[in-house]
Structure 1
Amino acid sequence: MLKRVLASAVAGAAIGVAVTVPAYAAPFTTTASNLNIRSDAFLSASVVKVLAGPTSVEVDCQKSGDSVTVGSRTTTWWAHLPAHSGYATVAYIDTPGAKLPGVPDCPQDPPQTGDVTLADVQAMFGSRIANPSLVQTGLPSLNQAMRDANINTARRKAAFLATLVHESRLEYNIREIGDTRLYGGRGYIQLTGDFNYGPAGRYFGIDLLGNPELARSLQWSAPIARWYWTVARNINPYADALDMGRVNAAIGYPAGSEDTRRCDSFKNALRYLTGSVPSGVKCTRPAKMSGDTSKLTRTQFEALTKSPGTVG
């Protein structure tokens, strides 16, 4: 049965703290020890808390995300636990079905229709668009790559475009200035290293190791950016969670002042796309992601988000 949640709101108001509390929440019990509570409904999303044992929780909404199988039950549904500021897979909640009964779906960042235009990116990033005609030439292929990668919400578009404008100024054929390495930075996402050129080439069936200049061709620059965003890494969930710190870590450079600059560009893009910057944007990354993660595999990178011995 749903019940009104008021106590925490009253307590917060009493001490002058702004508290966002759902109108209703339903009580459930988790079933696992060391259960990860994540920032979003994805196994790659950051862990915000670990519940040590079976715990009584209140759920205000649920959303579809990554599939989790426990025993004979498989579910893609994740419960939002407002008291813990995150999501737990329904697979570890005491309910017989794949979805919680009587709990509404969480509101979603709605998909945005329409391609990104030159005027859009100029409004988002200003003088960072240094060569408008070149950016315009590449936009059809870049928009196609965004559709292929499901970069179709304001948060995902803002994170992707903010990343690329810092990597390449949104110029598809750029070569990293002064980088004379055979597998140095090229293209929209500045593909770097044989550990990326090799897998990306195999994915597309082209010889990037033998012909690395393909990485900054109009034909392949945008698809390679999409490959890195969704295959080499799984970055959309970080964008969904407004976690620009982890977006930056996933790109693979060491933490520093560049993180702040990219996060500012992310906020500018969100402001342009939605009219405001939502609360909860994270600009910093966890300490264990502060180094150069570029050579990690996707599995190794995602392992950084999970503590040993935890589930979910």
Structure 2
Amino acid sequence: MLKRTLSVVLALAGVGAGSLIAATPAHAVAFRTTATSLNIRSDAYLASSVIKVLGGPVSVEVDCQKAGDTVTVTGRPATRWWAHLPAHNGYATVAYLDTPGDKLPGVPECTVNPNPPIGDVTLADVQAMFGSRIANPSLVQTGLPSLNQAMRDAQINTPYRKAAFLATLVHESRLEYNIREIGDTRLYGGRGYIQLTGDFNYGPAGRYFGIDLLGNPELARSLQWSAPIARWYWTVARSINPFADALQMGKVNAAIGYPAGAEDQRRCDSFKNAIRYLTGSVPSGITCTRPAALTADTSKLTRAQFDALAAR
């Protein structure tokens, strides 16, 4: 990202969205602000959005600092450093912190998040990720607006999360919102993106959305409800984003609710392909196998029961 040099004479301030921070240090250093009205920004650039205005002068805690736009204040050296204020989830320019230099002493530099948020996926994206598994491109294209909205709602917004979610759905439904599990004649058999299965899922999902899925299970594969139901399962029936963050694809597969077997590796391979496409490489540390406690069919477990097994 290019660094821009700007001069300011008013109390301007930093950035704050933790999207550019992979992990901040456990400690923080206290500094005093020098402005009566300090902008806390979503990133270390003057064009970044102001997420709050901090009155002052006050004491603030800083856990790391990063380079961004240069800020010049009368009587102070110009500085391109911005302090990350974890209590305010944003950044403030060092120009308005009580320190003699242009950089904060005793404060480490912020680390760059290797898994930053990314935008919506397109048909071309999923075709590149999964190749021939996208068997009906026009149908996939029709469903993508609702699927992207569901991912935004579920904060499935980083390469790892999107790779895990899309790899799961391409194996469940080929990313076709209206699919019915082939040969499954059960009343509450697999339907939709996530292949919702069982009255123990149709009932809670219907109550969550205020619709009668038990009385009208075909709603689970409608364009209106297929993607929201996938989001519900991913975040409410289970909490799967943390497994994706940790590259624990084995636990992702266990959370979907089928017994361990060869399918786990196939889905993990799709996960790796998606990450490679989204980031340019496959990170080390991907775990394709499940913990021993999660090798059986976990589909009927409550979220609390599943979480207890996953924590072992």
TM range (shorter): 0.5 to 0.7
Given that residues 175 and 187 in structure 1 are in contact (C-alpha distance below 8 angstroms), is that contact kept between their aligned partners in structure 2?
yes
Distance 2:206 2:110 in 1: 40
Structure 2's unaligned 5+ residue stretches are: 1-24, 28-62, 65-85, 88-105
Task: Report the RMSD for the aligned CA atoms in angstroms.
Answer: 2.2
Matched residues in 2 for 1:121 and 1:147: separation?
Answer: 17
TM-score, normalising length from structure 2?
Answer: 0.65
Match status 1:306 vs 2:311: yes
Structure 1 letter corresponding to 2:131: G
Partner of 2:263, secondary structure, is: helix
Kindly report which structure 2 residues correspond to 1:15-164, keeping only aligned pairs within 5 A, or say none: 107-164=112-169
Q: Deviations over 1:243-268 (max 9, x none)?
A: 10000000000000000000000000
Cα distance in 2, alignment partners of residues 26 and 303 from structure 1: 27
The AA in structure 2 aligned to 1:284 is T
Matched, 1:278 2:283: yes
Deviation track 1:163-211 (CA, whole Å, cap 9, x = no partner) reads 0000000000000000000000000000000000000000000000000
Q: What per-residue deviation string (whole Å, max 9, x for no partner) do you get for residues 227-279 of structure 1? A: 00000000000000011000000000000000000000000000000000000
Aligned counterparts of 2:285 and 2:267: Cα–Cα separation in 1? 16
Matched positions, count: 214
Kindly tell me: are residues 104 and 256 of structure 1, through their superposed partners in 2, closer, same or farther at Cα, counting changes over 3 Å? farther
Partner of 1:243: 248
**Aligned: 1:261 with 2:242:** no
Tell me which of 227, 233, 250 is aligned to 1:228: 233
Q: Against the structure 1 CA distance between its residues 106 and 188, is the aligned structure 2 distance closer, same or farther, given a 3 Å change threshold?
A: same
The 4+ residue runs of structure 1 with deviation greater than 2 A are 101-114
Paired AA for residue 142 in structure 2: T
Cα separation, partners in 2 of 1:301 and 1:177, compared to 1, 3 Å? same
Query: What are the within-5 Å matches in structure 2 for residues 200-239 of structure 1?
Result: 200-239=205-244
Contact 2:119–2:157, Cα closer than 8 Å, also in 1: no
- Retained in 2: the 8 A contact 1:238–1:244? yes
Q: Given that residues 26 and 103 in structure 1 are in contact (C-alpha distance below 8 angstroms), is that contact kept between their aligned partners in structure 2? A: no
CA contact (8 A) 1:141 1:218 kept: yes
Q: Which amino acid aligns with 1:217?
A: S
Higher relative contact order, chain-length normalized (CA < 8 Å, sep 6+): 1
Q: CA deviation at 1:155?
A: 0.2
CA distance in structure 2 between the partners assigned to 1:106 and 1:207 by the alignment:
47
SS at match of 1:304: helix
SS in 2 for 1:208: coil
> One-letter code of the match for 2:282?
V
Tell me how far apart the structure 1 counterparts of residues 212 and 109 of structure 2 sit (CA, whole Å). 49
Structure 1 length-normalised TM: 0.65
Equivalent residues of 1:109, 1:154 under 8 A apart: no
For 2:202 and 2:261, locate their aligned partners in 1 and report how far apart those are by CA, in whole Å: 26
Shift, 1:214, TM fit: 0.1
| Structure 2 CA distance for aligned equivalents of residues 223 and 166 of structure 1 | 18
CA drift at 1:137: 0.3
Residue deviations 1:74-106, cap 9 Å, x none?
x99xxxxxxxxxxxxxxxxxxxxxxxx967766
SS in 2 for 1:164: helix
- Say if 1:159 and 1:266, in contact at 8 Å, map to a contact too: yes
| Counterpart residue type for residue 170 of structure 1 | L
Unaligned runs of 5+ in 1: 1-24, 28-60, 63-74, 77-100, 308-312
Which structure has the greater CA radius of gyration?
2
State the AA in 2 paired with 1:283.
C
Q: What is the rounded CA distance, in whole Å, between the counterparts of 1:187 and 1:110 in structure 2?
A: 28
